[in-house]
Structure 1
């Protein structure tokens, strides 16, 4: 049975990855709060990834790092601490986890890593300076590590548009705002966590054995199309 370590699997996209793989995989979730489910294939560690020591595992087959942030402010409203905090969550946390679990991944079966970027790393959007800078760093990390870890470990990233999670609740807080958000996208919709979770599941599967160092936009046409 494949072992998947998911960082941030209690909510949102991370939770979707947990739920979609729970029946057929051993899931180890690392987050401050536990997923709202008890299952014999699920182990939870209540840990703050940035501040606490990480648990040790002998081997694992996949690592999915889900923590992220949505910190939307004009550039003069962003403090240097805002930039530091977003970078810590999105980049430093991912680096810490990858460095810690690289020996265990090397013992896994066709091991792989999935990180998360954002459409904001490719599309210039007002008030996204801090998150765009952090996610661009994630994309650079994926490219560099894809080359460094080949051929043993694959690493890819998903760059979603806005996804209906607790992080985006203030942006999608009523029906009018949800409809306006759909209209902004050429394919007239935005993401559900389950859609992104399925992509993560694909990228850690053997079906994606030829794919590494890539960033996959899931954007309902927002970046690619101008209609």
Structure 2
């Protein structure tokens, strides 16, 4: 199995790469974090590619096709948190950058992976959305808008590519333990005049399981969606979030 993970050098993407590797897959990751790329296992493929840069993505996929000849699983995982602020304080440039990475990065990955998968009449595309793609999130307008759009993209891919044996699904992580979420907590605490711990508890108490999730929890779902065990699972929005009940964290 040949698997590509965008933004795969750290966080959820790294966990996905490790999980597929453990299943015996050949793994290639792209990222813009050169330091993280340098610390990947030697037997993984690694490339410094901005997922929102069309020329860079086109060149990378040409290399991938020349080297591998096929692609079984695409995990379009690239994303950034974007600004945390009231909508009237969000600069258009910050909005555009957030949407570019989260939405256009997913589109470009799917756009260049699709011809390779069509040749084989098989493949699985897994897009990383978010519970922000299922609910409105105060102070996170660009991120929520982009993640909702990712789900619309996935639904369209599933319908369009199903006749070629290609499946498409979206994973919606909830609050994921780790460095990125810590940054979100800090910014949201500042925007709402709350403490970091109060925001953390608000997220956790907003789930029926009263818990954050781990990157490994998300990765396990990606492996399932990429496997033959999910051969008829397509067009689905699957939350890995401990069941979010209240998407607006409060004290």
TM beyond 0.5: yes
Check 1:185–1:223 CA distance in 2 against 1; reply closer, same or farther (3 A cut): closer
- TM-score, with length taken from structure 1: 0.90
In the aligned structure 2, how far is the partner of 1:50 from the partner of 1:70? 15
Q: Which runs of 5+ in 2 are unaligned?
A: 187-195
Superposition deviation, residue 109 in structure 1: 7.1
- Residue aligned with 2:175, SS: coil
Selected match of 1:166 from 179, 183, 186: 179
Aligned to 1:84: 96
More deviation in 169-178 or 113-122? 169-178
Q: Distance in 1 between matches of 2:169 and 2:80?
A: 19
Mapped contact 1:62–1:112 kept (Cα < 8 A): yes
Distance 1:119 1:188 in 2: 15
Query: Which consecutive unaligned segments of at least 5 residues does structure 1 have?
Result: none
Aligned pairs for 1:55-134 (under 5 A) are 55=60, 56=62, 57=65, 58-71=69-82, 72-108=84-120, 110-134=122-146
The answer to whether residue 207 in structure 2 is matched with residue 185 in structure 1 is: yes
**Is structure 2 residue 227 aligned with structure 1 residue 205?**
yes
More helix by share: 2
Once residues 139 and 178 of structure 1 are traced to their aligned partners in structure 2, the CA distance between those partners, rounded to angstroms, is 26
> Once the two structures are superposed, what CA deviation does each residue of 1:10-57 show, in whole Å capped at 9, x if it has no partner?
0111000111111401001111231633242x1111122223523221
Note the alpha carbon deviations across 1:56-75, whole angstroms, 9 max, x for none.
21211010011112232111
> Is the contact between residue 90 and residue 134 of structure 1 (CA under 8 Å) also seen in structure 2?
yes
For each residue in 1:91-145, what CA deviation from the matched residue of structure 2 results, as whole angstroms up to 9, or x when unmatched? 1111112111212122347311000111122223211211111111101111111
CA distance in 1, matches of 2:177, 2:149: 24
Structure 1 partner of 2:189: none
**What is the number of equivalent residue pairs in this alignment?**
223
Does the residue aligned with 1:150 lie in a helix, a strand or coil?
helix
Instruction: Please name the residue that 2:56 is paired with.
Output: 53
Distance 1:203 1:95, change over 3 A: same
**Cα distance between partner residues in 2 of 1:28 and 1:124:** 34
TM-score w.r.t. the length of structure 2 is 0.81
